[in-house]
Amino acid sequence: MTGCNAALQRAIACAWLSGLLLASGPAMAEPGITDGKIVIGQTAGFTGPAGEQVQEMTQGARLYLDAVNRAGGVNGRKIELISEDDGFDAAASKKHAHSLLVDKQVFALFLPRGTPNTEAIMTEARPLGAPVVAPSTGASTFFDQPDPLLFVVRAKYQAEIAELVHYFDTLGLRRLALVNVNDTFGKDTEIGFSNATKKLPPDAHSIFTVDRLKPDIAKATADVGKFAPQAVILACPATTARAMIEALNKQGTVTQIAALSNNAGLAFAKSLGALGRGVVISQVMPSPVRSTSLLGRELASSAKSAGVTPSYAVMEGYAAARVLVEGLKRAGKSPTRASFVSGLESAGIIDLGGLEVRYGPNVRKGSDYVELTVIGPNGTFVK
């Protein structure tokens, strides 16, 4: 009987262990990772005020991801990007992020658009330890108070504003206005504008804030006209910036108009028609049409092969995808969210080919690249 009992106990133990292993198998599998695939999620405003640029950025990202997949993927796994439209609404961004992470079990989130949108997305990503790569926002909070899970790529909005104010100073334009929006993006640009204009007389600079989704263009234009600045910086979504450019041109009281890189899309420049000529746009990516960087040459070649028109927005998506793939490579042959984060943190400086990003423990510096362009004939960007 003793032998039978021992045999029975061993059988029970083996059955329990087998059941434990079977039960733990799926639980141990990393979300979004299979033997042949890595699933990445994106929620961004493909429609709404930022729709044109979101579409261009995503087109650039897919250019690079498609090339990686054609070459065999990352460690034998193809990258699948699931993109969802949140209409540039932060509440919708949060909802889509939850669905992508919980229901569709994506590995990471990628290329969201907007400051409040990214903040909303992070509330869903943090509890799950999911990385968020390349948010299309230059808000300082994502650089100066880094979240371990968030990897910025572009430069700060405040760096763009400082470059514009310096440029205006060289032209002798020292009476300046900022038109921004009433959200965290707007608050960040307000701080940047105030810092950049500290050396100007207090009455030589002013800020005019409009509603993010329902701006009163007529009132804002009238208020700017009363202040009579020599130059205006527009820190607004595309639809608001376009309406302000049209209204300010009609009013005829401003010498120079500028907009930030959130309006670096080719569609935005072309939509202005003749009114766009001479508008200054700050850029956070190397030129997509000049062969001055390796990254630019790579994009030009990929875009030509795919029949895509290069733009600064396309370039931002392309560079963002480069960082995403770098993180996946560094995550190893059995990638986890934790190994992805530690892999990029250990990278230090990553040279994307003329655009450097910097990561490390408690460091999420992204790039500091800023250049100024002007909208020229036919809605093109020129130096």
Residue 116 has pLDDT above 60, yes or no: yes
For the segment 180-202, what is each residue's pLDDT rounded down to a tens digit? 999 999 999 999 999 999 999 99
Residue 18 has pLDDT above 70, yes or no: no
Of 107, 102, 113, residue with least CA distance to 185: 113
| pLDDT in the model for residue 115 | 93
| Phi, psi values for residue 366, rounded to 5° | 60, -150
Does the structural domain 157-283 have CATH classification 2.40.30.110? no
Average the pLDDT over 104-108 and give the result.
Answer: 98
Q: Choose between 256 and 18: higher pLDDT.
A: 256
Compute CA 195 distance to the chain's CA centroid, rounded to the nearest angstrom: 24
Per-residue DSSP letter, 136: B
Residue 28 has pLDDT above 50, yes or no: no
| pLDDT in the model for residue 23 | 38
| pLDDT in the model for residue 356 | 96
| pLDDT in the model for residue 291 | 78
Residue 41 has pLDDT above 80, yes or no: yes
Domain boundaries, the chain: 37-155+292-367, 157-283
In angstroms, rounded to a whole number, what is the distance separating the alpha carbons of residues 358 and 143?
Answer: 11
| pLDDT in the model for residue 253 | 85
| pLDDT in the model for residue 147 | 95
Q: Are 33 and 107 in contact (CB under 8 A)?
A: yes
Residue 21 has pLDDT above 80, yes or no: no
Question: Does pTM surpass 0.95?
Answer: no
Residue 351 has pLDDT above 90, yes or no: yes
Residue 26 has pLDDT above 60, yes or no: no
Average the pLDDT over 296-318 and give the result.
Answer: 94
Find the helix or strand (DSSP H, E) in which 363 lies: strand 363-366
| pLDDT in the model for residue 25 | 40
In angstroms, rounded to a whole number, what is the distance separating the alpha carbons of residues 360 and 343?
Answer: 9
Average the pLDDT over 242-260 and give the result.
Answer: 95
**CATH class in words for 37-155+292-367:** alpha beta
Q: Choose between 152 and 20: higher pLDDT.
A: 152
| pLDDT in the model for residue 213 | 85
Mean pLDDT of the chain: 91
Residue 357 has pLDDT above 80, yes or no: yes
Could you count the other beta carbons within 10 Å of the beta carbon of residue 76? 10
Q: Comparing 37-155+292-367 with 157-283, is the CATH topology the same?
A: yes
Average the pLDDT over 17-42 and give the result.
Answer: 69
For the segment 130-162, what is each residue's pLDDT rounded down to a tens digit? 999 999 999 999 998 889 999 999 999 999 999
| pLDDT in the model for residue 290 | 81
pLDDT band at 13 (very low <50, low <70, confident <90, very high): very low
pLDDT band at 380 (very low <50, low <70, confident <90, very high): confident
Could you count the other beta carbons within 10 Å of the beta carbon of residue 250? 10
Q: Are 80 and 61 in contact (CB under 8 A)?
A: no
Q: Is 167 helix (H, G, I), strand (E, B) or coil?
A: helix
Q: HEC profile for 239-267?
A: HHHHHHHHHHHHHCCCCEEEECHHHCCHH
